Structure 1
């Protein structure tokens, strides 16, 4: 540990916490936090350099089934310990876990360089390149998610069928529906704030038991940290109230899907570089190049914003989720919504990601696409759409399957340039695996359609 690290205030805060343990967590490839408690002595030893964490967190899927097609981790390597490094700047305490100190970490190789398949390191790679461009990305993440009156036991007993939402009906922006579970939602507002995940707004959305949260914007890495922590924190808090949150992109064909919108701007450390005071659209030339990058390249990063089989069930015409790489001025039907307001508030909202994203990878994807436009000086030639895809008649819609977007991603020179060959090959392999699991599965739709009649 460097002298500066030895003096980090987080270490003294842990010493003064009065606890005998620390909780640490890392993100797996799907954005699920995997973690453990560490004894204080083990924690301080780990804080000096690193600690071992089985690399299976990058070698298995969300059901803990190991991939059979990856190179950098897998059965052929024996799943050794990888080196996890604690990020002392992520220190917070967990209000619902007796205030235990908590830290996030990421992975490094034996020589100290970033592990290329670590999601948090993948985002850091993009941010390092942004720094060379002289810009600091600022982000804020929003999630829509459904809340169910279920427990792990009740859901297992139902065998994955007919979950019970906490409230019925379609009732957006409803104070009445919020009042029904006010203890849960007050806990979300208050305990997330104490956990270092400040919520800017929380309200009901259109659908039974569905809510939307806007997490206060920050520097991009912190924004992704907050987004990852919100998803896990909501589940941990919800369990106390008999609530099971689900960030699945589309749990029922009857209702709109759940989004994971990402707001972005670029700063020079003092001012918002997206604001163009002399422009008719209040967009700076840098903003236009950034937006041009997303219009041109976002579809090449498809599996990073639509990472599951279910993600594509959300991409239905007429159900709010945008299905084409379009942009518009304050148009919520476009993939890229330009919010051109005051110098402070001017930003881009990328609306195509779903709530099932790994926030580190989704933020890395939108920034890489946009910053590539800045780096290449792309011009915004595509006109804005009006209404719902009016003006986008000749623009191809997004693919409807994970395997299609994965193949596009795997061939993308832009993705490989920004994310590295090792990450692209590994992540593409994990998505191909996910697709194969789907191909082998027999669904209730098939049983209902074919069991008796065929």
Structure 2
């Protein structure tokens, strides 16, 4: 696959020596203890630290403080209502199982020191750390995104397994536009012209934004984030970053930070980076494809393969589970009204729940690989999805298939995108499906499902208050 390789830059070891940082503290990302955290911050002259956590939309929320206060056993708290507002900042009315905490009591931020890294685009020395959320007395909070994913991973661990994932994130670069009534359009590259569509895998298309991409790599290296490859996709100024496979929580953390990193690098060059699923009419949408496999913790053996190299029953049950349950959890992979504009026929996105070998028209593709690397690619999630929730849903659906011994359909040999659409066609239908099956509560929790459904219904009601250009064009003088 053609890729844009990182430009030469000082190695971490050289940078550490030049900054007189001890080798034991030269790692760009993560420490084990609070003592190491204090030394790590002091060695870099860090003045401020951002304590962040993803909300339901995957937006970073949290607090900033001086680094000296961070390491002095300070208690950090956020209101529980933070997980009950919509993407537009509204607070929906209570309905069904969607309820506000009566006292709007505090939730505590618990820093995960393994995620400690610098914030390379800040002018003052600044660090960041991703935080878990617990209740005011330390109790588990099941509805926060990182905890939802952690619960799914723990269910695999109880069986002696560890899921392995590799996300692929597509996004568009667009010219700055401060008026939401006007359509987006591609930015100008180094040639002085706006790049057009049809540039899939074009190295020249990537080179149009060389300096911006160099900053993405530079910012990523400073944070200890690893990019596998970068390509130009089909849309105009649409790029895709592939991440190396690994632990689901670590990879969700990376996607969470990558989105922030890419936006900041783009702003530095006077460009927007957007992860909307469908930012431009008539152009391909942006996906977050997820490659998934499962390995035994003790042996590292791929659970999807038998000793003789053939596909295991767990492999087929995992696919069966995805076919049954992914349509019911699609709202976690396609979370907005705009998401369903991507999931339409003839727009390079699957609109089915079929599977097949090396078949990109199916929702669940099995790439060509040897037995050790046997995996299943979920091609349904959009890049607008919260990575923690998309991974939790995808892995949870596969696990339900294994637990219930679900058999998949026959693999699709030809195109799967002709005929009926086998997925929810809009946000409200998808929300109802999430609430329809009690089995989903076993992996996602009833509390999360009720809260998430209420927020999504609130977002739909906010959307319905907006009159679109289509309505003005075709209804204004005709009805």
TM-score where L is the length of structure 1: 0.91
* CA distance in 2 between partners of 1:8 and 1:331 (Å): 51
Does residue 241 of structure 2 align to residue 197 of structure 1? no
The answer to whether the aligner puts 1:143 opposite 2:169 as a matched pair is yes
1:91-110 to 2 correspondences below 5 Å: 91-97=116-122, 100-110=126-136
- The reply to whether residue 208 of structure 1 matches residue 236 of structure 2 is yes
CA distance in 2, matches of 1:411, 1:257: 28
Match of 2:423 among 381, 398, 406: 398
1:15, distance to aligned residue in structure 2 (A): 3.4
Counterpart Cα distance in 2 of 1:8 and 1:261? 39
Contact 1:95 1:195 in 2 (8 A): yes
| Corresponding residue for residue 265 of structure 2 | 237
C-alpha distance in structure 2 between counterparts of 1:182 and 1:33, whole Å:
27
Structure that is richer in helix per residue: 1
The structural deviation recorded for 1:104 is 0.2
CA shift for structure 1 position 250: 0.8
1:292 and 1:370 in contact (8 A); partners too: yes
Q: Structure 1 residue 7: deviation in Å?
A: 5.5
Give the Cα separation in 2 of the matches to 1:196 and 1:5: 15
Q: 1:340 to 1:96 in 2, by over 3 A?
A: same
Task: For residues 36-83 of structure 1, give each alpha carbon's deviation from its aligned partner in whole angstroms, at most 9, with x where no partner exists.
Answer: 321123312457xx4112333212222222222377774x74644321
Larger deviation: 158-167 or 256-265? 158-167
Q: 1:58 to 1:46 in 2, by over 3 A?
A: farther
Cα displacement (A) at 1:214: 0.7
Task: Identify the residue that residue 272 of structure 1 maps to in structure 2.
Answer: 302
Give the superposition deviation at 1:134: 1.1
Residues 17, 101 of structure 1: 8 Å contact kept = no
Give the superposition deviation at 1:8. Answer: 6.0
Note the C-alpha offset of 1:17: 2.5
Q: How many residues align?
A: 438
Alignment of 1:181 onto 2:222 = no
What 5-or-longer segments of structure 2 have no aligned partner? 1-30, 188-193
Question: Does the CA-based 8 Å contact 1:24-1:104 persist in structure 2?
Answer: yes
**Is residue 196 of structure 2 the alignment partner of residue 169 of structure 1?**
yes
Instruction: Quote the offset at 1:417 in angstroms.
Output: 1.4
- Counterpart of 2:140 in 1: which secondary structure? coil
- 1:37–1:7: structure 2 CA closer, same or farther, 3 Å change rule? closer
Report if aligned partners of 1:116, 1:420 keep a CA contact under 8 Å in 2.
yes
TM-score by length of 2: 0.86
CA contact (8 A) 1:58 1:73 kept: no
Q: Which of 58, 74, 81 is the aligned partner of 1:31?
A: 58
In 1, Cα distance between equivalents of 2:293 and 2:229 = 19
What is the rounded CA distance, in whole Å, between the counterparts of 1:226 and 1:286 in structure 2? 28
* 1:188-215 alpha-carbon deviations (Å, 9 max, x no partner): 1232132122111111111111111111
Q: Contact 1:275 / 1:342 at 8 angstroms: preserved in 2?
A: no
Equivalent residues of 1:133, 1:375 under 8 A apart: no
CA–CA distance in structure 2, aligned partners of residues 364 and 325 of structure 1: 18
Write the distance in 1 (CA, Å) between the matches of 2:222 and 2:291.
Answer: 23
The CA distance in 1 between the partners of 2:466 and 2:317, in whole Å, is 43
